[in-house]
Amino acid sequence: MGRYEQQILPRILNKTCDDRQLEPLRRRVCAGLAGDVVEIGFGSGLNVPFYPAAVTRVAAVEPSDLSWRLARDRVSAARVPVQRAGLDGQRLPFEDGSHDAALSTWTLCTIPDVAAALGEVRRVLKPGGELHFLEHGLAPDENVRRWQRRLEPLQRRLVGGCHLTRQIADLLTAAGFTVTGIDVFYETGALKALGADSLGVAVAPPGAG
Ligand SMILES: C[S@@+](CC[C@H](N)C(=O)[O-])C[C@H]1O[C@@H](n2cnc3c(N)ncnc32)[C@H](O)[C@@H]1O
């Protein structure tokens, strides 16, 4: 990673993702989380205020040291213990079936090998464990998709490898999850190409390990 990715991008993301308009979405995606939770792409901890009381512990997985530092006040104020427990969603340092639930918000766009990351989330979830997701990806409308394909190379360069055209539901299904609920919509106030969101819950198979 260069200086831009290490020193500048995490500050930009901390500001742009800390948007009051996104708070209802963060509250929705966190609703129903319980027990030991792994959050991949923890960033600067913007979901922390929305963890429900039923969450007992959060294992934060985040490669950026600066993002973790920017999360400090939110982590200190958290109602549940939050520890930085890993650096890379593609290789989770946890036992099989060790977590009750998982959380990922606006992160599957950026992880280089997203299939590997989802395989890891599935592995560390207990059978039937839930992955709560809120991700942007391929838009439902072809005219928006055309813009996404045009903009994606620039987006990847400027936003740390962020893709615009990943098909979130398909990726989850291919990783062995059952998507039990999904809401696909355009984020209010965002360009449609950048804000085609999928919010929902995907369940790990019974007996997955
Ligand atoms: C757009 S930010 C979203 C941060 C946070 N989830 C939020 O909702 O504000 C994407 C995050 O994914 C992280 N990330 C990038 N590659 C990753 C990887 N291989 N494993 C886990 N997280 C990764 C980035 O460092 C960044 O914090």
Residue 103: strand pairing partners: 39, 132
> What's the pLDDT band for 206 if we cut at 50, 70, 90?
very high
- Is the overall model pTM greater than 0.85, yes or no? yes
Measured from the CB, is residue 106 less than 6 Å from ligand 1?
A: yes
**Residue 209 pLDDT greater than 70, yes or no:** no
SS3 for 186? strand
Residue 1: pLDDT over 90: no
Q: With a cut of 50, say whether residue 208 has pLDDT above it.
A: no
pLDDT at 46: 98
* Cα 40 to ligand 1 centre (Å): 7
104 in ligand 1 pocket by Cβ < 6 Å?
no
What pLDDT score does 153 carry? Answer: 98
Q: How far apart are the first and last CA of the chain?
A: 32
Neighbours of 65 (CB within 10 A): 12
pLDDT per position as a tens digit, 32-64: 999 999 999 999 999 999 999 999 999 999 999
Q: 13 CB under 6 A from ligand 1?
A: yes
Give residue 68 CA to ligand 1 midpoint distance, Å.
11
Query: What are 159-203's pLDDT values in tens digits?
Result: 999 999 999 999 999 999 999 999 999 999 999 999 999 999 999
Give the C-alpha separation, 185 to 104, whole Å.
Answer: 17
Mean pLDDT of the chain: 97
CA of 105 to the centre of ligand 1 (A): 8
Residue pair 173/118 in contact by the 8 Å Cβ criterion: no
Top mutation candidate among 62, 90, 105, 135 for ligand 1, by most atoms within 8 Å of CB? 62
In a 3-state reduction of DSSP, which class is residue 205? coil
pLDDT digits (tens, 9 = 90+) for 95-107: 999 999 999 999 9
